[in-house]
Amino acid sequence: LRQQGLEEIKQSDDLDRVNDVRVKLLGKKGPLTSVLRGMKDLSADERPKVGKFANEIRDELKAALEEKRAQLEKAVLDAKLAAEAIDVTLPGTPVAQGQPHVLQQIIDQLEDLFIGMGYEVAVGDEVEQEVYNFEKLNLPKDHPARDMQDTFYVTPSVLMRTQTSPMQARMLEQHDFSKGPLKMISPGKVYRRDTDDATHSHQFHQVEGIVVGEHVTMADLKGTLEVVAQNLFGDQLKVRLRPSYFPFTEPSVEADITCFNCLGAGCSICKGTGWIEVLGAGMVHPNVLKMSGVDPEVYGGFAFGLGPDRFAMLKYGVEDIRDFYQNDVRFLTQFDQKG
Ligand code: FA5
């Protein structure tokens, strides 16, 4: 029985088989159990001998079964480990890395530039009170210039701001002029009920700028805009100011820069003029100062509002503003700063 049992254990080549053999040899219906059960029929001096012998065999078979089971379990584990082995020296799967949106890159560049010139950056709300978007900017109700910026209203007195200029009024109100001039830029999204086309979007970006203090002149405005244009487009560029109209500046101007594509000679981008229009600006209107509690007899300054969307179109030759908003990664990754 021992020989046969040990042989069967040896032959078992999987854990189920080991279990079957265990049941067969040591189970209730197995030969050893029946030997032990039959002990009661044996004589008193045979009983201990047979009992001892049967126990020895049982222990031996148990040990052999245990050993076989451990062996097989180890083999299963080894096979699993081998199958799941990770080679840490293999190169990893590359993970796509994001980057700031091209418009954000332009805004970041402008922020860095202005912070370097001592400006503060103030971020306003996209949902704005009508008073700040219009009235305090010298645009009373029924002023015809309101039609220049077709507006999304949230309630009769709350709207989606059509420009970042409300931040002029808000910052003028807050600023403590005894501590020095106000120098601020304010980047952000603005909304207009414009029909989307290649150069118009119903949601786009502006960067507002304002400097108000004593002795701030239009020459300061021109110099500042020149620094901006040269920082973004190249250091040979010049700025020219053309008369224009905004209700919150007087005089108002539109700023053109020399066409960086042809550097003044005339090409398709500037339609042969040698100049491209980039932003609106002017000297802050005395009414705006007054309405914000600033004395126009003492303080004055300039403001400008530029469109990073149009800047990005010019800088990178993008022909359709809608490309910036469609989130096509193939388009956006072209402006990868890393490379
Ligand atoms: C303004 O919004 C004035 N607040 C700018 C200003 C500020 C003037 C401070 C004086 C002092 P305007 O409506 O022209 O002005 O818009 C400014 C710039 O926003 C434009 O030059 C253009 O670059 C951009 N822009 C205007 N409408 C759109 C549009 N629908 N889509 C994309 N860009 C636009």
The neighbour count for residue 173, using CB atoms within 10 Å, is 13
ipTM over 0.95: yes
Q: Which atom of ligand 1 is nearest to the CA of 209?
A: 9
Question: Over the stretch 77-108, which tens digit does the pLDDT of each residue have?
Answer: 999 998 888 888 999 888 888 899 999 999 99
- pLDDT band of residue 215 (cuts 50, 70, 90) is very high
Across the chain, mean pLDDT equals 91
The token duo for 281 is 């600006």
Q: How confident is the model at residue 32 (pLDDT cuts 50, 70, 90)?
A: confident
3-state helix, strand, coil in the chain (%, to 5): 45, 20, 35
Q: Cα 23 from chain centroid?
A: 64
**Distance in Å, CA 26 to ligand 1 centroid:** 93
For residue 263, name the pLDDT band (cuts at 50, 70, 90). low
Ligand 1 contact, 134 CB (< 6 A): no
Say whether 172 sits in a helix, a strand or coil: helix
Cα gap 307→194, rounded to integer Å: 15
- Ligand 1 centre from 305 Cα, in Å? 6
Task: Give the integer Cα–Cα distance in Å for 277 and 258.
Answer: 9
Q: Is 250 annotated as a binding residue?
A: yes
What three-state secondary structure class fits 274?
coil
Lowest mean pLDDT among 114-118, 160-164, 205-209, 259-263: 259-263
Residue 339 has pLDDT above 60, yes or no: no
Ligand 1 centre distance from Cα of residue 162 (Å): 9
Give the model's pLDDT for residue 47. Answer: 84
Pairwise CA distance, residues 100 & 218, whole Å? 34
If you measure from the C-alpha of residue 197 to the centroid of ligand 1, how many angstroms do you get, rounded to a whole number?
16
Q: Give pLDDT, residue 295.
A: 98
pLDDT at 6: 86
Distance CA 293, CA 136 (A): 11
Closest CA to 301 of 310, 292, 314: 292
Lowest-pLDDT range of 63-67, 135-139, 241-245: 63-67
Task: Place 266 in a pLDDT band, splitting at 50, 70 and 90.
Answer: low
By alpha-carbon position, which residue is closest to atom 2 of ligand 1?
163
CB contact at 8 A, 105 and 207? no
Q: Whose CA is nearest to atom 24 of ligand 1?
A: 307
Asked whether residue 337 carries a pLDDT value surpassing 80, the answer given is no
Separation CA 98–CA 104 (nearest Å)? 13
